[in-house]
Amino acid sequence: MLDGKVAFITGSGAGIGRAEAVLFAERGADVVVHDVNADGADETAALVRAQGRRAHVIVADNADVKRMRAEIAAASATLGPIDILVNNAGISGRYLPLEEIDEATYERMFAVTVKGAFFCAQAVLPGMKARGGGKIINTSSDLAMTGSRVMSHYTASKTAMMGLTRAWAKELAPFRINVNCLVPGVTDTDMPSEEVKTRYAGVAPLGRIATPREIAYACAFLAGPEADFITGQVLSPSGGGAIVGM
């Protein structure tokens, strides 16, 4: 359970992030809800409060480091120091072949996925170290395990998240900060097209795509006390689409 914990979930205005925020609240956590979409963030915050937990909303681009540092400080002042960081924010690769990925598209992908996660982690570390522990969960993709015929910029950014996980797990272990990586497959959110959902369901060993709630269960496990002796690992709730050993 997550009683008394404060969780910060980026990109939690919809989809997987929203499911994680609601489940964490059900399990006793207060939640810092972040998104670039104000309406979505407010809706998630209302769902958190409906569980009897507190919510603080951040509406910002997570790649804006200065703004995010200030917002995280304000959230910590309101709810208390952050115990759990879920780097969930991401953007679609739009199934672009290599020749069609221009510099701006490439840089935006890495800014949101990698840079945003990197500096959000940096911002919450002092509080985690001071309290003697914490949990960081990075979100990758099964494409980082299997590769993709298109979206190489997306695949590369998600692979970087696994690299950060392994490096941070070793660096932060002396401070009792666990760092793990969640690797979902195609999930029933607004990001994949219906064509992609249908195609993935046809080849996934379990014969369907995931619900956001199923991804949230895996995330909550990594955030909870059951995973206190797990760090630097990859957990893939992908219906067998990526078989990674955990």
Mean pLDDT value of segment 23-31: 98
Residues 104-151: tens digit of each pLDDT: 999 999 999 999 999 999 999 999 999 999 999 999 998 888 888 889
* Domain assignment present for 241: no
Domain CATH for 223: 3.40.50.720
* Domain assignment present for 1: no
Structure tokens at 228: 């206190």
Structural domains of the chain, count: 1
The yes-or-no verdict on residue 245 having pLDDT over 70 is no
Which of 95, 154, 200, 217 is catalytic? The answer is: 154
Taking residue 83's Cβ as centre, other Cβ atoms within 10 Å add up to 21
Indicate the DSSP class of residue 92: -
In whole angstroms, give the CA distance from residue 62 to residue 88.
11
Residues 145-173: tens digit of each pLDDT: 888 888 999 999 999 999 999 999 999 99
The yes-or-no verdict on residue 1 having pLDDT over 90 is no
* Domain assignment present for 243: no
* Domain assignment present for 240: no
Mean pLDDT value of segment 78-85: 97
Residue whose entry in the numeric block shows the structure tokens 């997987």: 16
pLDDT band at 246 (very low <50, low <70, confident <90, very high): low
pLDDT, greater one: 188 or 11: 11
The yes-or-no verdict on residue 20 having pLDDT over 70 is yes
In Å, what is the CA distance from 216 to each residue of 18, 50, 79, 168, 171? Answer: 9, 18, 22, 22, 26
* Domain assignment present for 107: yes
Percentage above 70 pLDDT, the chain? 98
Q: Could you confirm whether 217 is annotated as catalytic?
A: no
Residue whose entry in the numeric block shows the structure tokens 């200030």: 70
* Domain assignment present for 207: yes
- Domain holding 210, by residue range, is 6-235
